[in-house]
Amino acid sequence: MLKRIDIPEATLSINDVGQGSSILFVHGFPLDHTMWREQIADLSRDHRCIAPDLRGFGQSTVTEGKVSMEQFADDLAALLDALMITEPVVLCGLSMGGYIAWQFARRHAARLKGLILCDTRAVPDSAEAAANRLKLADDVVRSGSELVANAMLPKFFSERESNRRSILKEELRRVILATDPRGIAAASRGMAERADARPWLTTIDCPALVLVGEQDVISPPAEMSAIASSLPHATFRVIPDSGHLAPLENPGTTNILLRSFLTCVRDGKADCLPS
Ligand code: MLT
């Protein structure tokens, strides 16, 4: 049963399940909290798992125009306030969720005790990529979310065909088709303008786990390895048999790595899962 939580100028729909230290799951674009279900099923046995639908996605309210990565990060801090969570949390973000995590680390560092970055990037958009996003934002409002489903779905999974991947693709198509085009447009405009996070990676001093699917074509392993090298306390792992959505495509391996990292954070070690 999802909760509805009011934050300034929006109402977020969240999955809040389990007890223990809190993990805040931040979904990618243009998805919703359900992309974390395999992690939540496992980790909620001994953690509090909080997975919101970001502003404009899932069942949360829509803000028209543009929503910046800074705004999404501030929404997450407001959500923790509304839930009266004052202890630092582990934030786990995928792709756009990672762009938001960089801003959360910069603006709300005291609320973080660990960072899990899945299939994400620290570089900003090139001029060409930003222009394409702005065009997509206008197009999706005119012609509907299917446009984005068709553009994104072929890039989400590894190349190997399987029944499970086909089912996941169909499921994500349904999620995207149910997403308000104005929410998709607002996040696209926000991503087009996102800052270059590389200059502040070296200042993120909590433990970090950097995960990437071995066939991720959106945020490739070499790029994520460079991110891990810039973070002061990061462990880098490549997830086999997966593309951009490693937590969904290979939940078994992902969950084992998340559990080891969470144990290490709990035990107060600065560097987790040494290779
Ligand atoms: C995502 O999965 O969140 C997107 O691939 C992010 C992006 O379009 O840059």
Residue range 28-38: mean pLDDT, rounded:
98
Ligand 1: which atom is nearest the Cα of residue 125?
Answer: 9
Dihedral sign computed on CA atoms, order 209, 207, 89, 104: negative
pLDDT digits over 131-143, tens only? 999 999 999 999 9
pLDDT of 268 above 80: yes
Beta bridge partners of 48: 22
With the most atoms of ligand 1 within 8 angstroms of its CB, the residue from 29, 147, 157, 224 to mutate is 29
Q: Which of the pair, 271 or 39, is modelled with greater confidence?
A: 39
Pocket of ligand 1 (CB under 6 A): 28-29, 95-96, 191, 218
With the most atoms of ligand 1 within 8 angstroms of its CB, the residue from 32, 67, 120, 191 to mutate is 191
Rounded distance between C-alpha atoms, residue 107 and residue 111, angstroms: 9
Distance 76 CA to ligand 1 centre (A): 18
- Residues with Cβ within 8 Å of 69's Cβ and at least 6 positions away in sequence, in order, are 96, 99, 100, 102, 103, 190, 191, 194, 195
Distance 147 CA to ligand 1 centre (A): 15
Res 160: pLDDT: 85
Please name the helix (run of DSSP H) or strand (run of DSSP E) that holds residue 183, with its range, or none. Answer: helix 181-192
pLDDT digits over 78-88, tens only? 999 999 999 99
Distance 244 CA to ligand 1 centre (A): 9
With the most atoms of ligand 1 within 8 angstroms of its CB, the residue from 96, 118, 132 to mutate is 96
Distance 178 CA to ligand 1 centre (A): 18
Nearest to 42 by CA among 214, 255, 249: 255
Rounded distance between C-alpha atoms, residue 43 and residue 23, angstroms: 9
Ligand 1: which atom is nearest the Cα of residue 95?
Answer: 3
Nearest to 243 by CA among 270, 271, 264, 213: 213
Residue range 82-95: mean pLDDT, rounded:
98
- Taking the complete model, does pTM exceed 0.95, yes or no? yes
Distance 28 CA to ligand 1 centre (A): 6
How far from chain centre, in Å, is Cα 180?
19
Ligand 1: which atom is nearest the Cα of residue 121?
Answer: 9
Residue range 17-32: mean pLDDT, rounded:
98
Nearest to 198 by CA among 124, 109, 134, 259: 124
Sort 61 into a burial class: Cβ within 10 Å, 0-12 / 13-18 / 19+: middle
Residue range 243-270: mean pLDDT, rounded:
93
Distance 267 CA to ligand 1 centre (A): 33
Instruction: Go through the domains of the chain in sequence order and give each one's CATH number.
Output: 3-267 (3.40.50.1820)
Ligand 1: which atom is nearest the Cα of residue 244?
Answer: 2
Residue range 20-49: mean pLDDT, rounded:
98
Nearest to 201 by CA among 192, 210, 188: 210
Confidence bin at 274 (pLDDT 50/70/90): low
Ligand 1: which atom is nearest the Cα of residue 27?
Answer: 3
pLDDT of 275 above 70: no
Confidence bin at 240 (pLDDT 50/70/90): very high
Asked which of 9-23, 37-51, 258-272 is least confident by mean pLDDT, the reply is: 258-272
Asked which of 62-66, 109-113, 157-161, 176-180 is least confident by mean pLDDT, the reply is: 157-161
- The answer to whether the beta carbons of residues 12 and 83 sit under 8 Å apart is no
Res 269: pLDDT: 77
Confidence bin at 273 (pLDDT 50/70/90): low
Res 161: pLDDT: 80
Mean pLDDT, the chain, rounded, equals: 96
Residue type, 94: L
Distance 269 CA to ligand 1 centre (A): 31
pLDDT of 150 above 90: yes
